[in-house]
Amino acid sequence: MSQVKTVVGRGVPLVGNDIDTDRIIPARFLRCVTFDGLGAQVFADDRTQMQGQHPFDQPQYQGATLLVVNRNFGCGSSREHAPQAIAKWGIQALVGESFAEIFFGNCVAMGVPCVTAAPADVQVLQEWLAANPQSTATLDLEQKQVQFGESSIPISMGEGARNMFLSGTWDACGQLVAQAEQIQQTAGRLPYLSWSRAS
Amino acid sequence: MSKGTLFDKVWDLHTVGTLPSGQTQLFIGLHLIHEVTSPQAFAMLRDRGLKVMFPERTVATVDHIIPTENQARPFVDDLAEEMMQALEQNTQTNGITFYNIGSGNQGIVHVIAPEQGLTQPGMTIACGDSHTSTHGAFGAIAFGIGTSQVRDVLASQTLALSKLKVRKVEVNGKLVPGVYAKDVILHIIRKLGVTGGVGYAYEFAGTTFEQMSMEERMTVCNMAIEGGARCGYVNPDQVTFDYLKGRDAAPKGAEWDKAVTWWQSIRSNADAEYDDVVIFDAAEIAPTITWGITPGQGIAVNESIPTPEALSENDRELAAEAYQYMDLAPGTPIQGTKIDVCFIGSCTNGRMSDLREAAKVAKGRHVAEGIKAFVVPGSERVKQEAEAEGLDKIFEAAGFEWREAGCSMCLAMNPDKLQGRQISASSSNRNFKGRQGSASGRTLLMSPAMVAAAAITGTVTDVRTLL
Ligand code: SF4
């Protein structure tokens, strides 16, 4: 399993609060049994409406790996299709003022860190990226900062999630399955397992 | 740190251990799956050579993609048919109960589990769907998860989670006629904001919720997530027990008595400690309706669309976006806004009591000219029961279409969609841009009775004038 300590790359600023998962990946694209094609469909309706002016279409941001957003990003539905679509487009980490909880959890499970920063700092970073689209920024989870140009901003992330990235244990599945015995013990003390069952 | 709440008790009972990350490994008592968020999870399981650990603790249904008019197989939409087949195959291979179309038990996942008695107090419940919070109405800890987590539950019946804080949201007093559970939750979200609940579980307490039926409590808990709270719950009481008694999966005989004793014991203690408490007065809640592009942009039906000056600075930018998208001018009354489509249904308001209240308004009246109005029962059982009561006839006589069960235009993954810039009065839960199937379509959220009123008059109408 891979540790995630830093993400280095060019960044794309996406300004706006409350960008919900329906906008990240409209429902009609959920008619699929794999996540494979989602990268091309990310922000489909916003991009159509903005006729090439959406940051995900602007030439200077192609190949970016850091996405910088504002408040309550990823609110709405639990669809993992949303972070999957962003990741398939090429994003490896997100910086924002705040993230919706399920979206954040989905990103952790996929190995994509979402870190938060103060609104003013996020704005500084967004403006810098817009002015320097070809320069790289470094998200450093160990030092808890994003470095860009001559500056840096402090970032934060819950310790639990941060440890998972640093130690490479963000993919919980294997750890969970390994506790089979304790799982059975917990199941054994639940009063309802025997009486409630689908017929 | 909360102490002695139902949330604490259920959390502790289901804790398997602490993971190296510091997160809790939590046992999931009931896992619900559907066609949209499960196929990739089963594929991940196969990739890793893992098996479903507790197949009898997972129940499947199909709801999001199914057409509500012609349900003949194969579906007209190839992609929908492919998803359906994947679910049929995955449930069969893994020994998971699947309530398929025509089984009499199919419907929206958050409607069928309660009506079959699968949802019970004290359980932990997870589903790859954010409105899983609905099941909290029974005093369960229920939350939405993503596909990788669906994989985790299939593989281990557990999840890696960090504990939430608990906020008590108390509402006291009697609701005035024409004000429903939907208005209560829209009011709460309006006041606490769409991010107010992030990091919290909401305990809905107070006499208003105590007086509510189970279906009303489900409407409230359903939309906890729209206020940012991943789960919401009501402490189980006699109303809960009366609802559950005799349902298919409910305990029977001696086990029933044991169950009730246990359910009583997991209620929040009188001296429980909360991380936060907020209190509302039921008498102040009016029929509430959203005018913008988040569920927090709500107003009373007799209010005007807020001007930027009336809003906090934080909310102005989003409001500006909403005025433009919705094509609604600040300062104008929401009443009288012309409507194109009326949708009654969804896991928020697609149950019997919702249809009954809407039918009361529709009865003996007719849908206004040029309005498309349709009713989508939340499940096959709801449909059957409604037909036994003659509600379908009331709706049809009034000019509403009467459909088969499913999610329908709540998220429009099936053929039910808004066209172009149509504006809809909807009993569902999300008014995000493009939510109802058209990239420029517009949604006003309200109670099912208010949707019926809008259908009859063709405009946003205070339902209290039609009661
Ligand atoms: S009715 Fe709407 S909110 Fe409920 S499960 Fe279906 S799509 Fe989701």
How would you classify the pairing of strands B276-281 and B165-172? parallel
* Signed CA dihedral, A87, A93, A98, A101: sign only: positive
Count how many pairs of residues, chain A against chain B, have C-beta atoms within 8 Å: 238
Contacting residues for B157 by C-beta, under 8 A, at least 6 apart: A183, A187, B27, B28, B31, B53, B54, B57
Q: What is the DSSP letter of A67?
A: E
Alpha-carbon separation of residue B79 from A36, B23, B65, B337, B392 (angstroms):
14, 38, 9, 37, 31
- Which secondary-structure segment (H or E) carries A119? helix A119-131
- Say which residue the tokens 């159509």 belong to: A48
pTM of the model: 0.95
Could you tell me which of B108, B131, B127 has the C-alpha nearest to residue B62? B108
What number does the ligand 1 atom closest to the CA of B429 have? 3
Residues 204-223 of B with CB under 8 A from A: none
Phi–psi pair at B130, nearest 5 degrees: -65, -25
Residue pair B340/B431 in contact (Cβ under 8 Å)? The answer is no
A residues 129-168 near B, CB within 8 Å?
Answer: 158-161, 163-164, 167
Task: Choose which residue among B37, B65, B110, B427 to substitute to test ligand 1 binding: the one with the highest number of ligand atoms within 8 A of its C-beta.
Answer: B110
Closest ligand 1 atom to B428 CA: 2
Query: Looking at ligand 1, which atom is closest to the CA of residue B348?
Result: 4
DSSP A60: G
Residue closest to B376 by CA, chosen among B339, B416, B338, B413: B416
Strand ranges (E), chain A: 6-13, 66-68, 93-96, 114-116, 136-140, 145-148, 151-154
DSSP codes, B37-97 = TSHHHHHHHHHTT---S-GGGEEEE--SS--SS--PSSPSSHHHHHHHHHHHHHHHHHT-E
User: Could you tell me if B341 and B458 are in contact, meaning their C-beta atoms sit under 8 angstroms apart?
Assistant: no
Q: Is A97 at the interface with chain B, CB within 8 A?
A: no
The ranges assigned to domains in chain A are 6-168, 171-199
| DSSP strand pairing (B298-300 vs B288-290) | antiparallel
Question: Both tokens of residue B85?
Answer: 């087949």
Q: Which helix (H) or strand (E) holds B103?
A: none
Start-to-end CA span in chain A (Å): 40
Contact A105 B262 (CB under 8 A): no
- What is residue A197's predicted lDDT score, i.e. its pLDDT? 64
CB contact under 8 A, B318 and A17: yes
Name residue, tokens 């000019």: B399
Name the class of domain A6-168.
alpha beta
State the 10-residue block means of pLDDT for chain A, 199 residues long.
Answer: 92 96 94 94 96 97 98 92 97 97 93 97 98 98 97 95 92 94 97 77
CATH fold for the domain made of B288-465: Aconitase; domain 3 (3.30.499)
Q: Note the pLDDT of residue A199.
A: 54
Residues of A in contact with B259 (CB under 8 A): 191-192, 195
A-chain residue closest to B144, CA distance: A78
Q: How far is CA A126 from the centre of its chain?
A: 17
The pair of structure tokens assigned to B443 is 């949604």
Residues of chain B with CATH 3.40.1060.10: 165-237+262-284
- Contact of A120 with chain B, judged by CB distance below 8 Å, is answered with no
ipTM for this prediction = 0.93
Q: How far is the alpha carbon of A185 from chain B, nearest alpha carbon, in Å?
A: 8
* Residue numbers in B near A187 (CB within 8 A): 27, 54, 157
CA distance A144 to B44: 32
Q: Is residue B179 in contact with ligand 1, taking CB distance under 6 Å?
A: no
Ligand 1 in reach of B134 Cβ (< 6 A): no
Q: Can you say how many angstroms the Cα of residue B80 is from the centroid of all Cα atoms in its chain?
A: 23
Question: Could you tell me if B206 and B308 are in contact, meaning their C-beta atoms sit under 8 angstroms apart?
Answer: no
The answer to whether the CB of B411 is under 6 A from ligand 1 is yes
Is B439 in Cβ contact with A49 (below 8 Å)?
yes
* Max CA distance (Å), chain B: 64
For A115-165, what is each residue's pLDDT tens digit? 999 999 999 999 999 999 999 999 999 999 999 999 999 999 998 899 999
pLDDT computed for residue A1 by the predictor = 58
**C-alpha distances in angstroms, A75 versus A19, A79, A101, B98, B272?**
7, 10, 8, 30, 30
φ/ψ of residue A4, rounded to 5: -120, 105
Beta strands in B100-155 (DSSP E): 124-127, 141-144
Amino acid identity, residue B124? T
Q: What is the pLDDT along chain B (467 residues), one digit of tens a residue?
A: 999 999 999 999 999 999 988 899 999 999 999 999 999 999 999 999 999 999 999 999 999 999 999 999 999 999 999 999 999 999 999 999 999 999 999 999 999 999 999 999 999 999 999 999 999 999 999 999 999 999 999 999 999 999 999 999 999 999 999 999 999 999 999 999 999 999 999 999 999 999 999 999 999 999 999 999 999 999 999 999 999 999 999 999 999 999 999 999 999 999 999 999 999 999 999 999 999 999 999 999 999 999 999 999 989 999 999 999 999 999 999 999 999 999 999 999 999 999 999 999 999 999 999 999 999 999 999 999 999 999 999 999 999 999 999 999 999 999 999 999 999 999 999 999 999 999 999 999 999 999 999 999 999 999 999 99
- Joined together, the tokens standing for residue B17 give 């251990």
Cα of B428 to ligand 1 centre, how many Å? 8
CATH 3.30.499.10 positions along chain B are 6-161, 288-465
CATH of B165-237+262-284 given 3.40.1060.10, 3.90.550.10, 3.40.50.150, 3.40.640.10: 3.40.1060.10
Spatial CA neighbour of A95 closest among A81, A110, A114, A112 = A114
State the DSSP H helix or E strand holding residue B376, giving kind and residue range, or none if neither.
none
- With an 8 Å Cβ cutoff, is B175 touching chain A? no
Alpha helices in B201-246 (DSSP H): 207-210, 214-222, 238-244
Peptide bond into A191 cis (omega under 30): no
With beta carbons under 8 A apart, name residues in chain B contacting A79. 36-37, 146-147
Token code pair at residue A23: 């906008």
Helix (H) or strand (E) holding B323: helix B313-326
CATH superfamily of B6-161: Aconitase, domain 3 (3.30.499.10)
Whether B17 has its CB under 8 Å from any CB of chain A: the answer is: yes
> What does residue B342 show for φ and ψ, rounded to 5 degrees?
-125, 125
B248 with A100: Cβ contact below 8 A: no
- Candidates B127, B143, B156, B407: best to mutate against A (most CBs of A within 10 A) is B156
Instruction: Please report the residues numbered 317 through 346 in chain B whose beta carbons come closer than 8 angstroms to any beta carbon of chain A.
Output: 317-318, 321
